[in-house]
Amino acid sequence: MQDNEHKQGKKIDITGKRFGRLVAIEEAYRIKEKTYWKCRCDCGQEVAICKSSLLYGQTRSCGCLKRELLIARNRAKRGVKIEDNKLYNSNL
């Protein structure tokens, strides 16, 4: 999605607003119609994110959320396999 604020003649300031784990700090740069904002994640990482991705909920963290969810999912899968193996081994 493109950031159409310049075509419409209004500029929306999102400084200090929270988007998931990200807090918008300042406008970083523009590429064509897209505006990128410097954001600080709750984990401490600073990243530049397209404003429309923030506004439409497409980006909620610097990537740490995805990593945490992946780790939790893998731990849950291993937990099920371990229990299945215990059940299988106890039946021998």
DSSP readout, the chain? Answer: ----HHHHT-----TT-EETTEEEEEEEEEETTEEEEEEEETTS-EEEEEHHHHHTTS--SSSHHHHHHHHHHHHHHHHHHHHHHHHHHHT-
Domain range spanning residue 19?
5-90
Domain CATH for 71 = 3.30.200
| Closest C-alpha to 7, from 30, 26, 27, 28 | 30
Judge if pTM exceeds 0.85.
Answer: no
Residues (pLDDT < 50) of the chain are 1, 6, 81-92
> According to the model, what pLDDT value does residue 78 have?
78
Interval 6-29: pLDDT, tens = 455 578 899 999 999 999 999 999
> According to the model, what pLDDT value does residue 64 have?
93
> According to the model, what pLDDT value does residue 75 have?
84
> According to the model, what pLDDT value does residue 90 have?
42
Beta bridge partners of 24: 39
User: How many domains would you assign to the chain?
Assistant: 1
